[in-house]
Amino acid sequence: MRVRTTAAVASAAALTLLTGCGAADMTKQASPFANARGAKTVTLSVQSWVGAQANVAVAQYLLEHELGYRVDTVQVDEVPAWDALSQGRVDAILEDWGHPEQEQRYVEDKGTIAAGGDLGVTGHIGWFVPTYFAKKHPDVTDWKNLDKYADLLRTAESGGKGQLLDGSPSYVTNDKALVKNLDLDYQVVFAGSEAAQITQIKQFAKEEKPFLSYWYTPQWLFEKVPMTEVKLPPYKEGCDADPEKVDCAYPVTPLQKYLNADFAKKGGRAADLLKRFKWTTEDQNQVSLMIAEQKMRPEEAAKKWVDSHESVWKAWLS
């Protein structure tokens, strides 16, 4: 018994010695892999969709080649990324699709996250059917007629109902509530990831099969598989306030950047660059297409874009 207590006391003492006495701040938790060997490191959160990868690839390329930083990227889902950002495990999120609850908590209340301005791209989420299907059945583009086509849209995973294909569970989505509140004969099927969803959509398109999918603009896939939006009941301010009772379309969102508050203040030229980073939908799509369709490595795609758009990014550096 005595041996064990001595050991416990000793280890506790060692722990205190190691950490220095006093409080440890859980809000300042840099990644152990950051700033290795004196290099200045920026850690960027990269989300799973290709548009976000394009943002990060270009920012990373400029930070590394123009400003001499080392860039670590971490894949974190959208909501946990906010928490990681507030703790300083991540320095910046470059594309946020609107998380009012988190914004209130971290930006307004705690002040651990600073707004980083517009990305310059406007996003919109909606339900889409392939254009070849919409041409054959023009009335499918109104949600009121969706039930008529439920039979056509049935799959093995959706059971007896029509399938509404969703992507990653981490994306902003009200689809389950929408299906319930609009009383539709549909089942929401999560593909598990956006890439899986894209694979599925391409398989459908190859055989010209009909499908109904959660999708969003800007998105490079529209170039490959033209899709038409299904009109949902129009969006009104506040109609999506209660996630259980949503019965309207998704809003149009100007995508935002967010920086860790400390990083925003002390991040030097890297923070300045990320604050000024602003490009257009076409720019983003161009890089996304190179990554996703031509299967280029993100850094190569970024280099190609950077080489041909000097005037755009020069403004971010000054």
Partner 1 sequence: MATLTASTQKTAPPGFLTHPAVRKLLALAIAAAILVPLAVTQWGGATWPSALTVDVSEPLGRASDWIIDNRDSHPLFLYFFGHVSNVVVLAVRAVYLALLAVGWAGVTAIGALVAWRVAGVRLALGTAVAFLACGLLGMWVPTMQTLALMVVAVLASVVVGALLGLAAGLSDRMDRVLRPVLDTMQVLPAFAYLLPVVLVFGIGVPAAVLATVVYAAPPMARLTSLGLRGADKEVLEAVESLGTTARQRLLTARVPLARKELLLGVNQTIMMALSMAVIASVIGAGGLGDRVYQALASVDVGAALAAGIPIVLLAVVLDRVTGAAGEQHDGEPGRSPLTWLYALGAAAAVAVAGRLAGFLDWPDGWEVNIAEPVNRAVDWMTAHLYSGVPVVGGTADWAAHFTSWVLNPLRDGLQWLPWWSVLLAVAALAWLIGTWRTALTAVLAMAAIGVLGVWTPSLDTLSQVLAAVAVTLVIGFATGIAAARSDRFERLLRPVLDVFQTMPQFVYLIPVVALFGVGRAPAVAAAVVYALPAVVRITTQGLRQVDPAALESARSLGATSGQQLRQVQLPLARPALLLAVNQGVVLVLAVVIIGGLVGGGALGYQVVFGLAQGDLASGLVAGAAIVCLGLMLDRVTQPTARRTRKGA
Q: Is residue 6 part of the contact set for partner 1 (CB under 8 A)?
A: no
46 is a site residue for partner 1 (CB under 8 A)? yes
User: Which of 68, 169, 254, 268 is in the footprint of partner 1 by CB under 8 A?
Assistant: 169
Pick the binder of partner 1 from 64, 98, 105, 278 (CB under 8 A): 105
Can residue 213 be called a binding residue for partner 1 (CB under 8 A)? no
Options 26-34, 229-237, 251-259, 306-314: segment touching partner 1 (CB under 8 A): 26-34
Does residue 26 bind partner 1 (CB under 8 A)? Answer: yes
Relative orientation angle of helices 50-65 and 298-308, to the nearest 10 degrees = 70
Assess 13 for contact with partner 1 (CB under 8 A).
Answer: no
107 binds partner 1 (CB under 8 A): no
Angle at 285 between CA 173 and CA 237, to 5 degrees: 35
H helix runs in 72-226, sequence order = 78-87, 100-102, 131-136, 175-181, 194-206, 221-224
Q: Does 10 bind partner 1 (CB under 8 A)?
A: no
Q: Least Å distance between CB 87 and partner 1?
A: 6
> Minimal CA–CA distance to 146: which of 183, 120, 197?
183
User: Closest by alpha carbon to 224, among 292, 128, 163, 136?
Assistant: 292
Q: Confirm or reject binding of residue 48 to partner 1 (CB under 8 A).
A: yes
Q: With contact defined as beta carbons under 8 Å apart, do 174 and 143 qualify?
A: no
Where along the sequence are the contacts to partner 1 (CB under 8 A)? 3-4, 7, 15-16, 18-19, 23-27, 29-33, 36-37, 46, 48, 50, 53, 72, 74-80, 82-84, 87, 89, 105, 110, 156-157, 159, 168-170, 190-196, 198-200, 203, 292, 295
